[in-house]
Amino acid sequence: MDGVSIQLPNKTDRTTLTEADNYRIFNNLDNVVYGAATGNGKHALFVQGNLTADMPSGTAKYSGQVLHYRGRVLNGSGVLTGSNIDYTYTYNGTFTATADFSSKKLSAIINSGDSSYMGTKTFNAVINGNRFKSDSSSPDQTIEGGFYGANAAEIAGKYQFIDGKSDTLSDSGFGVFGGKKQTP
């Protein structure tokens, strides 16, 4: 970030969460790692892994973890803006998602872990191949990501919620999430 290299831990370490002052990485999944790197008042969210080659049909349910940031004001790129860009808090939350591969729709419920502000929001997306991205029904709630591993065994991505407020009571937030397909 900003020309600084951050060494990521080896995937075989199988830790649930690796963190330091300038990064948090979740590598508890088999096919994808996700997290955030921070520095100079900026946050870079990342998701990296082995995208699903052959997508399944039917429906699937997923659940997993969320790394959520609450900030004062976010611009369209998920970057904190304004006079006090250090006004940020980090939370650990959870999510559930339902993917309907036949109708190419995804619905995700993200519990940010921040019960005082963003709380829990529902995000909708369109599935295109092994990726998904917000539909246009709510431009202030965006989500995008992908399916990872054989038979879309895992899911990961990033989200952003903008409430339009520009004060310290803003519910705006953003983060990353990742999880596994649940067995019926």
Residues 6+ apart with CB under 8 A from 113: 66, 68, 91, 92, 93, 94
What are 103's strand-pairing partners? none
Transcribe 5-29 into DSSP letters: --PPPPGGG--S-EEETTEEEE--S
pTM, 2 dp: 0.80
Amino acid at 168: T
Reading the chain (184 residues) residue by residue, the pLDDT tens digits are 456 665 555 544 444 545 555 677 877 899 999 988 877 766 788 999 999 999 999 999 999 999 988 765 445 554 555 444 444 667 889 999 999 999 999 999 999 988 888 889 999 999 999 999 998 777 788 999 999 999 999 999 999 888 766 666 677 788 999 999 998 7
Using alpha carbons, select from 163, 131, 145 the residue that is nearest to residue 64. 145
Domain assignments of the chain as residue spans, ordered by start: 51-181
Give pLDDT, residue 167.
60
| CATH code, 51-181 | 2.40.160.90
Amino acid at 156: A
